[in-house]
Amino acid sequence: MAVNIPGVIAIVVFYLLVLGTGIWATVKSKRKQKKCAASGMEMALLGNRSISLVVGVLTMTATWVGGGTVLGIAEMLYTPSRGLISAISMLTAYASTFIIGGLFFAKPMRDQNFVTILDPFRVKYGRVISGIMGLVSVLNDIMWMPITLTALGGTMSVVLDLPFSLCVWISVAVAITYTLLGGLYSVAYTDVIQLVLIFCSLALGGLASQCFQQRILSSFSGTTAKISCLAAAIAYLVLGIPLILLGAGAVSTGKNNVDKKM
């Protein structure tokens, strides 16, 4: 397959934009750490608990609207055995995460200044139980990450005509670089960039997810966390509409001719 030059340019610009945003967030993080008394852990994991409402809404939404959602919903519509019901079920389940989390968990969790989702369990049940739950949480994230990497690697592989495994490693390298440099600041602000790009290009499930709770705990206040959750629920459903239409369009046009590289 011939290399798609416009596609190559678009991907290079995208990765440079994401990496540049991560580096900028690194500088911002170091400046803030010098001006405040926050610990290194709070600065890296929670961005000094200073994430504003606007950034909070965008990064909260981007927690679920990733490669797995974009490609997964479209594929559900395209697969006869799954169809529209499966896509709607996925959207409503994850939207309910934001609604339930915003109404019942966001403000109490943030007001008590927990660092991770495991902290309330450690207070209530002790270190052993929270340690076991921490292992489960880590395993959950390990199993979730391949979904995003598969989406990134698959897209790059088709556009750049490169081996799928190489494309995955490139994506991993970029993500690890900006995360290690700037901590949550890098993740939050690159989430904003990625969500804006997804939105422009596309015109009860995860309450126990650490990445979801991390966005709550990094908010400026409990009220900010609550509003971010409720706004993200609406944004997630809105972003799901073009994904459903994309899958429906794939069904109507028939099977595509793109070679499978995975």
The pLDDT tens digits for 32-76 are 767 776 666 777 777 778 788 888 888 888 877 776 777 777 777
Extract the tokens encoding 115.
């660092």
pLDDT tens digit sequence for 205-245: 567 777 888 888 888 888 998 999 899 888 888 888 877 77
pTM of the model: 0.63
- φ and ψ of 51, to 5 deg: -70, 125
Task: Name residue, tokens 């007001």.
Answer: 111
Name the more confident of 109 and 93.
109
Cα–Cα–Cα angle for 168, 170, 173, nearest 5°? 110
d(CA 239, CA 235): 6
Q: What is the pLDDT of residue 257?
A: 47
Q: What is the pLDDT of residue 260?
A: 47
Burial class for 2, CB neighbours closer than 10 Å (0-12, 13-18, 19+): exposed
d(CA 231, CA 233): 5
